[in-house]
Amino acid sequence: MTKFSDLNLSPKVLKAVDEAGYESPTPIQAGAIPPALEGRDVLGIAQTGTGKTAGFVLPMITLLARGRARARMPRSLVLCPTRELAAQVAENFDTYAKHVRLTKALLIGGVSFREQDKLIDKGVDVLIATPGRLLDHFERGKLLLTGVQIMVVDEADRMLDMGFIPDIERIFSLTPFTRQTLFFSATMAPEIERITNTFLSNPERIEVARQATTGENIKQCVVMFKASRRDREASEKRKLLRALIDSEGDKCTNAIVFCNRKTDVDIVAKSLKKYGYDAAPIHGDLDQSQRTRTLDGFRGGTLRFLIASDVAARGLDVPSVSHVFNFDVPGHAEDYVHRIGRTGRAGRDGKAMMICIPRDEKNLADIERLVQKEIPRLENPLNSGNSPVQVPVQSESKAPEKEDKPSSERGPKPDRGPKPDRGPKPDRGPKPEPKPERSPEPTASSPARNKPSDDKPTENKSRNRGGRGQDRGGKKVVGMGDHLPGFIALSFDERRAI
């Protein structure tokens, strides 16, 4: 087995790795570090959880240990799709660079430009950024990218999903062509392939896991659920979620609950809280300090339930999540793999439970096709007669909101009974569907600044993700497919939030 000491990393980096408690390199590290240290381009096909961050940060630190930073000209650049991922890379950098004198700056949205400008002015060795914020700094004339010797693109497939590819291409073109590029993506969609063919030079390609694998240590199940009435679906689903959580008892030490829509993230978090569960939401419309606080609480064990959107939770490294609850079946099968991959990390056991309503059955079938197995059906704990939850009997004449009121056992009533259920009123016609969570893709010709933020909503089922390279019928879809890019419908402000 390869040892870290075989990889040619600097002694100071090896010391930090040793102190981090790592015994041996993961496959992506063993594959990526040696060519990176030789100055070669690397194309790493790996998901989060594989140790890929250290796979690029460790050689970067070793390579940058020689030389010094110059004002406004960072020597290396790491691009991440979301603020949280960028912050996570920065944390990793601090851990691994603690015995060397290198400076870093984190450029993410939601943080004041002034502080970031000050750091850049002094000169930084490593700039960790989201693409939008980096270009904002560049356009304000505060930053030159001509000194970049090493550029890392992390989670490129997510960049594609979020419409950042034009930004990435622009950033590539602002850096010297002599730079070394370390490029990571969980999947190789045709558009990603095109970018790597254009901007990487004879890269060493390392692939560590298939896209559609779900860990064997993750126990999965799905509850097929039909509401008693359409207008009660939302509140009955929340009741079912509580029953599923309760059915796991103490085994559920902490969990991420995924919803497809940001509005549902808020509603589910509020509802769980009202019933006495320790829950908080995370999605892109929340301000950065709140997002950071929530995540820190969840990581630190002071928050038990994180209610999340896909984009906000993507790539988050929370090593010990006992459960993932899919409040909604994700509209894209690959997201199921990413979602449930939050649990069962580092060889631990995990459990993933999902609620499937009739109109999501097609999406469920897509998921089962992708993971190549049937997800075991679980009986609805509310039907089994031994529900662990006290469920008030609901008469047809009652308003749907009534169902979502907490039972006295679950905790004190709030002072002002906020209405948890913003579902449609019974007598009204169907409410228009709230926008789902995902971002639209821009065309390659869209201006670089016309991008969506990390968490902006997009159309879901009606839109194909050109980036995944396949439509549901197995036909290849290259680039953006033939749909009108949804970003055209977004306001300028909505696109520049990151």
Task: Tokens for 449, please give them.
Answer: 């600044």
Distance, CA of 75 to CA of 146 (rounded, Å): 9
48 interacts with ligand AMP by CB under 6 A: yes
Min separation Cβ 348 and ligand AMP, Å: 12
Distance, CA of 246 to CA of 106 (rounded, Å): 40
207 interacts with ligand AMP by CB under 6 A: no
| Span of 42-50, 74-82, 258-266, 294-302 interacting with ligand AMP by CB under 6 A | 42-50
53 interacts with ligand AMP by CB under 6 A: yes
Distance, CA of 389 to CA of 405 (rounded, Å): 13
Q: Which is nearer to ligand AMP, 44 or 400 (CB)?
A: 44
Distance, CA of 315 to CA of 317 (rounded, Å): 6
Q: Is 189 within 8 Å of 466 (Cβ atoms)?
A: yes
3-state helix/strand/coil string of 238-307: HHHHHHHHHHHHHHCCCEEEECCCHHHHHHHHHHHHHCCCCEEEECCCCCHHHHHHHHHHHHHCCCCEEE
- The 54-93 contact track toward ligand AMP, x by CB under 6 A, reads x---------------------------------------
Min separation Cβ 89 and ligand AMP, Å: 8
Min separation Cβ 279 and ligand AMP, Å: 24
Size of the site for ligand AMP (CB under 6 A): 13
Edge-to-edge strands, sheet with 255-258: 218-224, 350-356, 323-326, 255-258, 305-308, 279-282
| Span of 44-52, 132-140, 180-188, 375-383 interacting with ligand AMP by CB under 6 A | 44-52
Q: Residue 301's CB: how many other CB atoms inside 10 A?
A: 11
| Amino acid (one-letter) located at 26 | T
Q: Which is nearer to ligand AMP, 49 or 440 (CB)?
A: 49
Of the chain, the end-to-end C-alpha distance in Å amounts to: 42
376 interacts with ligand AMP by CB under 6 A: no
Min separation Cβ 208 and ligand AMP, Å: 10
469 interacts with ligand AMP by CB under 6 A: no
Q: Which is nearer to ligand AMP, 332 or 345 (CB)?
A: 345
- The 290-319 contact track toward ligand AMP, x by CB under 6 A, reads ---------------------------x-x
Distance, CA of 474 to CA of 263 (rounded, Å): 32
Min separation Cβ 152 and ligand AMP, Å: 12
Closest CA to 485 of 464, 469, 470, 455: 464
Q: Is 321 within 8 Å of 331 (Cβ atoms)?
A: no
Min separation Cβ 29 and ligand AMP, Å: 6
Distance, CA of 325 to CA of 245 (rounded, Å): 8
Q: Which is nearer to ligand AMP, 53 or 343 (CB)?
A: 53
Closest CA to 171 of 196, 149, 201, 151: 151
| Span of 47-55, 159-167, 184-192, 293-301 interacting with ligand AMP by CB under 6 A | 47-55
- The 13-32 contact track toward ligand AMP, x by CB under 6 A, reads ---------x--xx--x---
Among 16, 32, 42, 52, binds ligand AMP (CB under 6 A): 52
Q: Residue 115's CB: how many other CB atoms inside 10 A?
A: 11
Q: Residue 254's CB: how many other CB atoms inside 10 A?
A: 18
How far is residue 123 from each of residues 108, 111, 119, 178, 180, measured CA to CA in Å? Answer: 17, 19, 7, 21, 20
Q: Which is nearer to ligand AMP, 3 or 373 (CB)?
A: 3
Q: Which is nearer to ligand AMP, 29 or 149 (CB)?
A: 29
Q: Which is nearer to ligand AMP, 208 or 240 (CB)?
A: 208
Q: Which is nearer to ligand AMP, 76 or 88 (CB)?
A: 88
| Span of 48-56, 124-132, 198-206, 267-275 interacting with ligand AMP by CB under 6 A | 48-56
Residues 147-186 that bind ligand AMP (CB under 6 A): none
Q: Which is nearer to ligand AMP, 246 or 317 (CB)?
A: 317
51 interacts with ligand AMP by CB under 6 A: yes
Phi/psi for 333 (5° steps) reads -55, -35
Min separation Cβ 69 and ligand AMP, Å: 25
Length of the chain: 498
Among 49, 406, 452, 466, binds ligand AMP (CB under 6 A): 49
Min separation Cβ 92 and ligand AMP, Å: 7
Min separation Cβ 23 and ligand AMP, Å: 6
Min separation Cβ 93 and ligand AMP, Å: 12
Min separation Cβ 51 and ligand AMP, Å: 3
Q: Which is nearer to ligand AMP, 22 or 113 (CB)?
A: 22
3-state helix/strand/coil string of 406-446: CCHHHCCCCCCCCCCCCCCCCCCCCCCCCCCCCCCCCCCCC
Residues 314-353 that bind ligand AMP (CB under 6 A): 317, 319
Distance, CA of 468 to CA of 464 (rounded, Å): 9
Residues that bind ligand AMP (CB under 6 A): 22, 25-26, 29, 48-54, 317, 319
